[in-house]
Amino acid sequence: MSSNFDIHTFAKTVAKDKRTFEMFRYLVNNAYIRVVNYHNTNERDAKRLEHEIQYFSEHFVPVKLSDLDTFFETRKWPYDKPGLIPAIFEGYRSHYDIMKPILDKYHFTGWFYIPGFFPDVAREDQLGFCKNHHLRTTGQYMYEDGRIALSWEEIRELSKNHEICCHTGSHFEITKKTSDEDMHREIVEAKRRMEYKIQKPVDVFCWLAGEEYNYNIRAHKHLEEAGYKYVLSNLKIEKIR
C-alpha cells in the first residue's frame, strides 16, 4: 500500500455512495464469495488478465453452480479459501478467444453472462445491434469478418467447464415501467432460447445495472416462471424464492 494512502480520505470517499459503501462492507465482513466483473476482453489486455486470473487461482477457489447450491443449502462454505467468480459480461467473441484459454490454463471457472438473443444476430448486423443496445465495442480490436458475438458453438464449448448465465435477451434495462410483455421476452424467452441452443439449464440471471432481486416485484414473477435459481446483483448473490 502506498505511503500516501489516507484512510480518512478513503473512508469519506466510500461513504459518499451507498452502493460503494455496501460493497466495501461486504468485503471486509468476511464475505465467502467475491465477484470480479469483466466486459470486452481485448487482446491488448491478455497479459493483465492472465496476471489477475493467476493471482485469483493462488488466493481463492473457483466457484461452480453446485458450490453455490451447497452453500445456500448448508449455510457453510466448504473451503479454506474464499470463492471468487470472474463474471464475464455481454457475450463477446473475445471471451472465447482471450478469456477462455486463460481460465482453462489455471483451472478457474468463469461465469459468462450472455444476452440470450445476441448470438442469433447476423454478423453483418452485430455492430448495429451493439450500438442500439449499449454494448461497447473497441474499433481497433474488431474482427475482420465482423462477428462480435459468441457463436452458439463457442457457448456450448464454454459450458463444458464454465457457467453460462443470462444477462437479459437483448441487453435490455428492465425498470419498474417496463411492460410485462417486454419482461417476459427478456427474462423468460431469453432463458428458453439459451437452454434450447446449449441443451443445458441456465439457472442464473443478472439485470443490467446490477439491481437486487427485490428491486422489481413484477419482474420476480417472470424470474420464477422462467425457473431461475439465482440472481446476481452488484451487492450479492440471491436465491430465487
Tens of pLDDT along 196-210?
999 999 999 998 875
Alpha helix ranges (H) inside the chain? 7-16, 18-28, 46-59, 65-74, 93-94, 100-105, 126-132, 152-158, 180-183, 190-198, 217-226
The yes-or-no verdict on residue 28 having pLDDT over 60 is no
Q: Which phi and psi (to 5°) does residue 84 adopt?
A: -140, 130
The pLDDT of residue 235 is: 74
- Spell out the domains of the chain, with CATH numbers in brackets: 1-30 (no CATH), 35-239 (3.20.20.370)
Pairing of strands 83-89, 111-114: parallel
Per residue in 33-47, pLDDT (tens digit) is 889 999 999 999 999
| Nearest-angstrom CA–CA distance, 137 and 54 | 26
118-169 residue pLDDT tens: 999 999 999 999 999 999 987 656 888 999 999 999 999 999 999 999 999 9
Q: Which of 48, 39, 38, 40 is nearest to 139 (CA)?
A: 40
The grid cell for 155 is 457457448
pLDDT, one tens digit per residue, over 209-227 is 755 555 678 888 999 999 9
The per-residue pLDDT for 237 is 87
In this structure, the number of other CB atoms found within 10 A of the CB of residue 196 comes to: 11
230-232/237-239 β-pairing: antiparallel
Question: How far is 150 from 121, CA to CA, in rounded Å?
Answer: 10
DSSP 125: G
How much of the chain exceeds pLDDT 70, in percent? Answer: 85
Which residues have a Cβ under 8 Å from the Cβ of 137 and sit 6 or more positions away? 40, 127, 130, 148
Q: Where are the alpha helices (DSSP H) in 106-216?
A: 126-132, 152-158, 180-183, 190-198
Round to whole Å and give the CA distance between 12 and 125. Answer: 46
The mean pLDDT value of the chain amounts to: 89
**Which cell numbers in the block locate residue 18?**
451507498
Radius of gyration (C-alpha) of the chain in whole angstroms: 18
